[in-house]
Structure 1
Amino acid sequence: MPKITQNDLHYQYSWHAVPGDNPHLIDQDANHLSRNEGYEMLQYLNSLKGPSGADLPVRTRLIVEWMLKEHFHSTAPGRSTVTQWVVDNYQRLSPLYPR
């Protein structure tokens, strides 16, 4: 699976866990996705799958990063809400990706 790394990301993130967060327990620790925490975004983007569990290219993961940073507006997004939003909006927004 082509995973993205910290160096692939196009936005600035915090790479330090805030009190109450444990970067080693992301899946178990919270339903919430912090779009400012690098370790959460990186794990989320790398966990995405296409239809029928298909692998996603790096470019698709970076498009989703851009979508979430530039177009998704929610103060406390649950991961399932974020994923549904990505599915609902990918086809419309991906052609606008500036890179």
Structure 2
Amino acid sequence: MPLINKSELNYRYSWTAIPGDNPKVTGEPDSTRFSRNEGYEVLYLINKLAEIWDFKKLASAHKIEKMIKNELPSDIQTQKGVKDWIKANW
């Protein structure tokens, strides 16, 4: 069960996958390119990290979202990079 859903996100995102992009992201965070402006990518990563780190509170999901949207350095562009950065800066 996801910790957060689309209607609970605090920021605005694009929800249209560009050609070649998969809106149904699955699996573990890896070297796949990540966009902080694509809602389905942000939502997937928040829920995946909540699952990995056993977060149970919506506040934790919102903190991850805020970190991604407002604090994530622009040179971090992979799912794994985002995961590692959030873990180091929690």
TM-score greater than 0.5 by the shorter chain: yes
Report the RMSD for the aligned CA atoms in angstroms. Answer: 1.8
CA distance in 2, matches of 1:65, 1:56: 15
Identity between Structure 1 and Structure 2 (%):
36
Question: What is the match of residue 65 of structure 2?
Answer: 65
User: Structure 2: any 5+ residue segments left out of the alignment?
Assistant: none
TM-score, with length taken from structure 2: 0.82
Question: What is the match of residue 96 of structure 1?
Answer: none
CA distance in 2, matches of 1:15, 1:61: 19
Who wins on radius of gyration, i.e. which is larger? 1
TM-score, with length taken from structure 1: 0.75
Q: Which has the higher contact order (CA 8 A, sep 6+)?
A: 2
User: Structure 1: any 5+ residue segments left out of the alignment?
Assistant: 91-99
Residues 6 and 42 in structure 1, CA contact (< 8 A), matched pair in contact too: yes
Q: Which amino acid aligns with 1:67?
A: M
Question: What is the match of residue 10 of structure 1?
Answer: 10
CA distance in 2, matches of 1:56, 1:21: 29
- Indicate yes or no: 2:34 matched with 1:33: yes
1:22 offset after TM fit, Å? 1.6
The count of residues paired between Structure 1 and Structure 2 equals: 85
Question: What is the match of residue 43 of structure 1?
Answer: 44
